[in-house]
Each structure stands twice: as structure tokens, then as C-alpha cells.
Amino acid sequence: MFPQLAQYTDLGLLLLRLMTAAVFIDSGWSHASKSATRSKDIGMSQGFTIFLGSVEIAGGLGLTFGVLTQLAAIGLILISLGAIQKQIFVWHVGFWGEKTYGWHYDLLMIVMNLLILFTNGGRWVLMK
């Protein structure tokens, strides 16, 4: 309907990468800097929580700068799948959630990372 908007595809992909990165970097920073509290919240060891936070930060930085973008997206997809698995099978949280947010949020992160994976984040990346 609006073919002239296709010229902004790379801008849209950059904005998608930056927004996705902001979410994961913020989450990763929380896991890494407040590992004792966060490990209790998610039911994982403190060491694993620090590792999880580090991977989220690294993946987010990869998306931000466009370095190993596809690998970063794959890693962040795996983290999101792990979160969904925990929410559904361990915590028994519904799609929309009840007392907290549901796993719809993590599913959105997966789809966003799939788009980044399939497009390599667009042309505006530092390393293809």
C-alpha cells in the first residue's frame, strides 16, 4: 500500500535492534548486579544468574552495535525460550499472567529476535 516506506526498512531494523537490546541489557544488568536477590526470584543459583545476566548484556550489546548480530539474536531467543519454559512448566503462569506478567512478553522478544536473525539486523551493522 505504501511502497515508498520500504526505503526506511534499515532504520526500522536498527530501531528494533536498539529496543530489543535495551530490554535485554536492562534485564541482564539486574541479574548481574543484584544476583543474590534475582537468583532467589528466578529459582536459580547465584552463579547461573550472573552468567545469565552476562549473556543478556553481551547479546544486547551485539544487537546494539551490529556485531555478530545473528548469534546474539539466537542467544537471546534461547534465553527467552528458557524463561517461557520456567513460566509454563515450573511457575504455571498463563499467557497473560495473573499476579505478574505472563509469557506473552517473552514470546514477543522471541519474534523480535527472529526478525533480527532472519535479516541480520539490516544493513546498518558493524560486522556482517
Question: What pLDDT shows up at residue 128?
Answer: 73
Q: Is the pLDDT of residue 127 over 90?
A: no
Question: What pLDDT shows up at residue 12?
Answer: 98
Cβ(31)–Cβ(83) under 8 Å?
A: no
CA dihedral 88, 91, 93, 98 (to 10 degrees): 180
Cβ(116)–Cβ(63) under 8 Å?
A: yes
Tell me the average pLDDT of the chain.
96
